[in-house]
Amino acid sequence: MKSEIDSYWSGEANDYQAGIKTELTANKSEWQAIFQRALGATDLDVLDVGTGPGVLALLLSELGHDVTGMDFSREMLEHAADNVDEFDPSVGLAQGDAENLPFKSGQFDAVVNRHLLFTLPDPESALTEWKRVLKPGGKLVFADGNFYGNLDRTLKRRLWRYLGHFLVLCTERRLNANLRMEVVDDLPLTEVPRPKTDVQLLERVGFEEITVENRIDRQTKSTFEYLKSGYWGEAFLVAATKP
């Protein structure tokens, strides 16, 4: 399954790079504010798991954090390396598996990611690993959403999806990927209630002080950007602390 997931994201690397840079940089201050509220004002040693083209890592580095971006896909990391070279060479990059991190225990003050957990075959193992590399009192902060569960559930969502694809084609001159991995139906977080399930998993692996901020997509997207991609479902931010 991991091989199929890696193949999928490697194949989507070019389009994903274009889409993610548009989405995050168009509302840079909003994304920075959301993560900074959860992380606090102190400069931290941060690991961005599933960094993709490195945009979130760059946004957090701009706030003063010491950031390492890690991804499973080498093609994604090639885009990240180009972006780091262009915007902030202080950001470190590494290749690795989100469920088996290549870092020592207690290495980071914070672990962050965006739209990663739902793509993993074993999210509980991933959360356990993220907890392992955190220092005591360290923070886990991740953004995710009820994406596949809502995608075609209603006529409104289906029509909205076609509108979103049309708007992406008109404004970005690219086809909006369906992001439908062959293994998606086998992924454990695509058809369960979220973020309720996320909170249960975090409690199970031993995180404390778990908080959820709902509907962050309405904070991080303009109305037009929301029309382009909001059909996926509602996004949320989860923060938790290692005891």
**Is the predicted pLDDT of residue 34 greater than 60, yes or no?**
yes
Strands 45-49, 66-71: pairing kind: parallel
If you write DSSP's letter for every residue of 103-133 in order, what string do you get? S-TT-EEEEEEES-GGG-S-HHHHHHHHHHH
> What is the pLDDT, as a whole number, of residue 169?
78
Q: What is the mean pLDDT of the chain?
A: 85
Tens digit of each residue's pLDDT (9 = 90 or more) over 76-121: 999 999 999 989 999 999 999 999 999 999 999 999 999 899 889 9
Q: Which domains does the chain have, with CATH numbers?
A: 2-149+182-221+233-241 (3.40.50.150)
In single-letter form, the type of residue at position 22 comes to: T
Spatial distance between the Cα atoms of 75 and 101, rounded to a whole number of angstroms? 19
Tens digit of each residue's pLDDT (9 = 90 or more) over 168-210: 778 776 665 544 455 567 789 888 889 999 999 999 999 999 9
Specify the higher pLDDT residue, 235 or 6.
235
| Nearest one of 128, 122, 156 to 140, comparing CA atoms | 128
